Amino acid sequence: MRDRAGKSLRLEEWARRDSILHRRDARGKILAAVVFLIGVSTTPPSSPFAFLPVAVVLACGLLIGRLPAGEILLRGLVIVPFPLFFGLVSWLENGNAGFASALVTRSYISALTVLLLMGVTPLPDLLRGLRGLGVPAVLVMVLQSLVRYLQLIVDHAMRMRRAASCRDAGVFPRRSRQSLWRRASGALAVLFGRSYLRAQGVHRAMVARGFQGDFVSPRPATFAAADWLFLAVVSTAVVLARIAGSVRT
């Protein structure tokens, strides 16, 4: 978990930097990422170089966003086992190497795209952007409070684990599996209760400050000309890359 927390911290740090991409409206960046992902998803594996054009577009994004390319390329690798497994399985079954390697390439490029999006967009802005694109207010508020209380609850779980391992150090040299189960489920139940009470406290604080059941969300900023231009440029680049990628050589 510490590893995971570190990962999201790294994203936060990148997102606080400044570049042309950082300054774009979050809605535009989300749409651009989706357009790009659709481009990747529809590129047929007609040649080993089919994905080169979209990769070039992506590389431009990383460069313009002033993100550490090496680190992002490395981080994107976390998703490779999944497509690699199913690619290999599929290849062994029907001998179609092109399809198998397309799975891996597409997944990897798609993961890098999400990293690029998150690297140039702070999470709170991104969630507001989702609201602006029509995601229901309830879902966005749930996302916001999930993000807000995630670290708090995880820290709590960690403290409980530490306390538990201190308590029985050396006392039960051979703990039975049953007692371990009982302890783990008891700990989760306590954590469930703590979370429940935390939610009650939060709700109480919201009500005390005038919340009456309906959320008011700030009106999103206007979608500036520069944001339209950005979206148009990305879309054009994707279409061109997509055409270039499907030329069979």
Partner 1 sequence: MGGKMKSMHIPDGILSVPVWASLNAAAIPGVGLAIHRAKKGISEGQVPLLGVMGAFVFAAQRMNFPVGFGTSGHLLGGALLAMTLGPGSATIILTSILILQALLFQDGGLLALGANTANMALIGVWAGYLPFRLLSNSNLRTLGVFAGGLLSVLASAAAAILELRLSGVAMSPAVIGISSGVFLVTAIMEGLITVAVLQAVERLNPGWLQAPRGVPGRSAGLLVTAALLMMVAGVLYISALPDGFESLAAKIGVASRDQIVWAAPMPDYEIPFLAGDWSRKAFAGLGGLVVIYGICLTVGRLLVRQRSA
Partner 2 sequence: MSIPVIDVRGLQFTYPDGTPALRGVDFQMMAGECVALLGANGSGKTTFLLHLAGLLRGEGDVRICGLPLSDDTLPEVRRSVGFVFQDSDDQLFMPTVLEDVAFGPMHQGVRVEESMRRAREILVTLGISRLESRAPYHLSAGEKKRAALAGVLVMKPDVLVFDEPTTFLDPPAQNELAKLLLELPQAKLIATHDIYFARRVANRAVFFAGGQIAGEGPVEAVADRFHWRLD
Name the token pair of 116: 């690029």
CA nearest to 96, candidates 61, 45, 139, 56: 45
Can you tell me which of 17, 20, 23, 44 binds partner 1, judged by CB under 8 A? 44
20 or 152: whose CB is closer to partner 1? 152
* Exposure of 33 in the CB half-sphere (CA atoms within 13 A): 25
Taking each continuous run of H as one helix and of E as one strand, the counts in the chain are 10, 0
User: Which of the choices partner 2, partner 1, none does residue 81 contact, using the CB cut-off of 5 to 8 A by kind?
Assistant: partner 1
CB 4 within 8 A of CB 78: no
Separation between Cα atoms, residue 228 and residue 207, nearest integer Å: 39
Separation between Cα atoms, residue 148 and residue 207, nearest integer Å: 18
9 or 226: whose CB is closer to partner 1? 9
114 or 147: whose CB is closer to partner 2? 147
Is residue 235 close enough to count as binding partner 1 by CB under 8 A?
no
CB 166 within 8 A of CB 204: no
Name the token pair of 225: 């000309």
The nearest distance, CB 197 to partner 2, in angstroms, is: 10
User: Which of the choices partner 2, partner 1, none does residue 52 contact, using the CB cut-off of 5 to 8 A by kind?
Assistant: none
CA nearest to 147, candidates 7, 8, 3, 6: 8
Is residue 172 close enough to count as binding partner 1 by CB under 8 A?
no
The nearest distance, CB 11 to partner 2, in angstroms, is: 13
CA nearest to 120, candidates 32, 55, 225, 41: 32
Residues that bind partner 2 (CB under 8 A): 123-124, 127, 144-145, 147-149, 151-152, 198, 201-202, 204-212, 215-216, 218-219
Question: Per-residue string for binding with partner 1, 131-170, x by CB under 8 A?
Answer: ---x-x-xx-xxxxxxxxxx-xxx-xxx--x---------
User: Which of the choices partner 1, partner 2, none does residue 219 contact, using the CB cut-off of 5 to 8 A by kind?
Assistant: partner 2
71 or 155: whose CB is closer to partner 2? 155
Question: Per-residue string for binding with partner 1, 1-20, x by CB under 8 A?
Answer: x--x--xx--x---------
The nearest distance, CB 75 to partner 2, in angstroms, is: 22
The nearest distance, CB 224 to partner 2, in angstroms, is: 18
Can you tell me which of 192, 223, 224, 226 binds partner 1, judged by CB under 8 A? 192
Separation between Cα atoms, residue 203 and residue 205, nearest integer Å: 5
62 CB contacts (<8 Å, ≥6 apart)?
69, 72, 112, 116
Q: Which of residues 57-86 bind partner 1 (CB under 8 A)?
A: 75-76, 78-79, 81-83, 85-86
